[in-house]
C-alpha cells in the first residue's frame, strides 16, 4: 500500500520518516523542497503537487498549519481532489483545523467516492520524532480500522471519538486544557519565586500530588533551564485557541478562561516571542512580577 504525505514541517517530517522506517512506501510533497529532498534520500518518492500525490497513493496524510492550507491542498487548483480518487481512497487529515472545515472537506471527499478521517495529534515535535503521538480520530469505524496500522507507527494507535469533526473537537478540548495548565503553572511558579522559594524544589514537592500533570512534568524542567526552543510554538497554540473560541461562539459555549490565556499569548506575539515554545508563556508573568523562574 502506497501512502501519500503532504506537509513536511516540524511535525510532518519526522512522522513521514517513521512511516518509512516502518516499511511503508511513501509519496511526499511539500512547498519547500528541502524536506522533500531529505525524505527522498531516505527512500520516499517525490511528487510535485497534491494532485500528483493523489494519482499515486491510496491513502493520503495531510499535516498542515491550519484550515486554509488544508482547504487549498485538498480542494484547490491542482489539489488532492483533482487526482484520480474513488472507492478505496482515504484522506487522513492530521492537521489541527476547525471542525466545521473538516466536515466541509469530508463532504467533498465523499462526493468523489472516497472516505476521510480527521486525526489531529498531541505530543509536539518530541512525540512526532519518537512515534508517541496521541491521535484523536473522527470518522467511520471501518475506515479507522484500515488506517490503524499507520496510527500505530505514529503514536498510540489512535482513539476513535466520533464522526469526522469529532477528532478536531477533541483536539480543541486538549489545547484548552494544556493552555490553562501552562498559564496556571507559570503564574504559580512566579509567585513561588517572588516569595524566595527555589522553584525546582517546589516542582519536586508538588509533581506527584494533585497539582502534578504531564504538562508540569514536561515543561517545568525546560522553564528552569530557560529552554524555549519550540517543540510546539506559541503561534500554533494561538491558532488552536482561535479555532476553539470560534467553535465555542458558534455552539453558544462561553470560554472565559480560554480567552484570557489567548490574550496572554497575543501579548507574547506582540513581543515577537510567538516563535518560542508554549512553555514560554511563563515569560509574560515573569515580566509582570520582575522575576525569572530559575533556581
Q: For residue 51, indicate whether it is catalytic.
A: no
CB-neighbour burial class of residue 152 (10 A; exposed 0-12, middle 13-18, buried 19+): middle
Q: Are strands 121-122 and 134-138 parallel, antiparallel or unpaired?
A: antiparallel
157 with 148: CB under 8 angstroms? yes
Distances (CA, A) of 145 to 128, 161, 184, 200: 21, 13, 38, 44
Q: Which of 13, 171, 193, 219 is labelled catalytic?
A: 171
Distant-in-sequence contacts of 263-268, Cβ < 8 A, 24+ apart? 264/183, 265/179, 265/234, 265/237, 265/238, 265/241, 266/238, 268/234
Q: Whats the size of the chain, residue-wise?
A: 295
Q: Determine the 3-state secondary structure of 239 from DSSP.
A: helix
Number of H helices, E strands in the chain: 13, 9
Catalytic residues: 171
Amino acid at each position: 500500500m502506497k501512502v501519500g504525505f503532504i506537509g513536511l514541517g516540524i511535525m510532518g517530517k519526522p512522522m513521514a520518516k517513521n512511516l518509512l522506517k516502518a516499511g511503508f512506501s511513501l509519496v511526499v510533497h511539500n512547498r519547500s523542497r528541502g524536506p522533500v529532498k531529505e525524505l527522498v534520500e531516505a527512500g520516499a518518492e517525490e511528487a510535485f503537487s497534491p494532485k500528483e500525490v493523489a494519482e499515486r497513493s491510496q491513502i493520503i496524510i495531510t499535516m498542515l498549519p491550519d484550515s486554509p492550507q488544508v482547504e487549498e491542498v485538498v480542494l484547490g487548483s491542482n489539489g488532492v481532489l483533482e487526482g484520480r480518487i474513488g472507492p478505496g481512497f482515504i484522506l487522513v487529515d492530521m492537521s489541527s483545523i476547525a471542525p466545521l472545515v473538516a466536515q466541509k472537506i469530508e463532504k467533498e471527499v465523499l462526493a468523489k467516492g472516497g472516505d476521510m478521517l480527521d486525526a489531529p495529534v498531541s505530543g509536539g515535535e518530541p512525540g512526532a520524532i519518537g512515534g508517541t503521538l496521541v491521535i484523536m480520530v473522527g470518522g467511520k469505524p471501518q475506515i479507522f480500522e484500515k488506517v490503524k496500522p499507520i496510527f500505530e507507527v505514529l503514536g498510540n494507535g489512535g482513539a476513535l471519538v466520533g464522526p469526522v469533526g469529532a477528532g478536531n473537537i477533541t483536539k480543541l478540548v486538549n489545547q484548552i486544557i494544556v493552555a490553562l495548565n501552562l498559564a496556571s503553572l507559570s503564574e504559580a511558579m512566579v509567585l513561588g519565586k517572588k516569595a524566595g522559594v527555589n522553584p525546582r524544589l517546589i516542582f519536586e514537592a508538588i509533581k506527584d500530588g494533585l497539582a502534578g500533570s504531564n504538562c508540569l512534568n514536561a515543561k517545568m524542567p525546560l522553564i528552569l533551564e530557560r529552554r524555549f526552543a519550540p517543540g510546539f510554538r506559541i503561534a500554533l497554540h494561538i491558532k488552536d485557541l482561535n479555532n476553539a473560541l470560534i467553535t465555542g461562539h458558534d455552539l453558544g459555549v462561553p470560554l472565559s478562561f480560554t480567552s484570557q490565556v489567548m490574550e496572554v499569548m497575543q501579548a507574547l506575539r506582540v513581543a515577537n516571542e510567538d516563535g518560542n515554545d508554549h512553555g514560554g508563556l511563563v515569560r509574560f508573568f515573569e515580566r509582570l512580577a520582575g522575576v525569572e523562574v530559575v533556581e
